[in-house]
Chain A
Amino acid sequence: MQQIPLTDEEALVLLQSISSDELESFSQDIYDEVANEVSLGLCFEVHRAVKLGFLFLDESKEDEKKFEIVDEIGRDVFGQVPMKKQFECICPNCQRNLAASRFAPHLEKCMGMGRNSSRLASKRIANTGKVDSDIDDLDDGDWNYGNDKKSSKKKRDKNCPRKIKPKARNEERKALLLQCCGVISEHTKKMCTRSRRCPQHTDEQRQIVRLSLLGQQITLPETTDDIQVDIDTYDEGQTQLLQEAMYRSWDTGSSTNASPADSGSAPGGSISSKRKEKRASSNSGRSGGSKKSKSRLPPGGSSINMGNHGALVSQPHLPSDI
């Protein structure tokens, strides 16, 4: 071909003179060149993909087939049967296998700390020596399932009523019975907490209770004759003496309980003489105390009305309500 580029006009002139076959091959050549370019483009694209590593990304491997979405009736997309798995756990307290959904309520009962969990757990805890009354005070981050010797010792001394020494217990009971009626009800087995003058119970009942609880050593401070019970000046020794005398006299005499609600019912007249004796002796031996008024002897020598009723009773006179 000519080396000098033709002008447009010259090219056109040449084209027109070309035969159709040549035109055809000419077109073909042009097409080949274009096709070549396209192929080359593809090659570059593939080669780049190979070198960058993403040529084979869309090909699935064998181990990925297990992650395909499952499309069966009765199973979910993961291929699992839609039943909830039951997780089992072991209770740290009683070492039992439990279902996870039952774990929390069980633990409540087991450890005795829930709202409705008092009885069995508390019993068990008491038997093993732990104190459950102070569980709330324990540090929450500090679960001690075994016997925590330090803490349990401390708590025994301070708070647990069952571990109190006998002397202390009796002191408490004395104090309690001084203030309350204390008669144990037949059907509930509970002590009456009303005042000592409650109309439901007689002094005799109270005396019985006190006898059974405290033994003959203790009695109510108001057993002194003629003298209003003044606890400050209560003399235990005197009372004991009195008490014994009283009981002896009762055994012999036929004392009956007189009006309970009154100023302390007095025993029967057969005892009156002995009372006089007692009074004399007690008065002489009295270590000094305020004589507010003369009170009548209570039937058991135990329960005496705190308040002084009515008229003073002179010493030699016995109460008239025989």
Chain B
Amino acid sequence: MKTAVNQKLIETGERERLRELLRTRLIECGWKDQMKAYCKDIVKEKGVENVTVDDLVAEITPKGRALVPDAVKRELLQRIRTFLAQQTKI
């Protein structure tokens, strides 16, 4: 069922809209700058030449998820629920 719903999300383009909304909100709240500074620290630590994507991903993902403000999160969830609700009503 989940795949069906996901599929619906993609088909309607809602997934992209959700993604862009999240990005916008995170930039507005300063999350992106914060994460970027953190990344610079990691790069300085690991060395400019030696840093890989995997390193960054492994470091950023947990930290990033933790740093997302609650308001943004709630907004997103609300959106999703609304979408799902809409789906059931159709």
Known contacts: A30-B80, A42-B64, A43-B60. The answer to whether A11 contacts B22 by CB under 8 A is no
Interface residues of B in 64-85 (CB under 8 A from A): 64-65, 68, 73, 76-77, 80-81, 84
Contact with A along B23-49 (1 / 0, CB 8 A): 100100000100110011001000010
| B interface residue count range (under 10 / 10 to 19 / 20 to 34 / 35 or more) | 35 or more
CB of A280 within 8 Å of the partner chain: no
A32 to B87, CA, bound (A): 20
Measured between beta carbons, the chain A residues less than 8 angstroms from B32 are 42
On whether A39 and B1 interact (CB within 8 A), knowing A11-B8, A15-B84, A55-B43, the answer reads no
A40 touches B57 (CB 8 A): yes
Point out the residues of chain A lying under 8 angstroms from B36, CB to CB: 42, 46
Q: Which residues between 11 and 62 of chain A lie within 8 Å of chain B, taking CB atoms? A: 11-12, 14-16, 23-24, 26-32, 34-44, 46-47, 50, 55-56
CA distance A42 to B66 in the complex (A): 15
Determine if A6 is an interface residue (Cβ-Cβ < 8 Å): yes
**Residue numbers in A under 8 Å from B51 (CB-CB):** 47, 50
- Cα-based distance from A29 to B61 in the complex (angstroms): 15
New contact pairs (13) apart from A11-B4, A34-B76, CB-CB < 8 Å? A1-B1, A5-B7, A8-B4, A12-B88, A26-B2, A26-B84, A35-B22, A38-B64, A42-B39, A42-B60, A46-B40, A47-B52, A56-B40
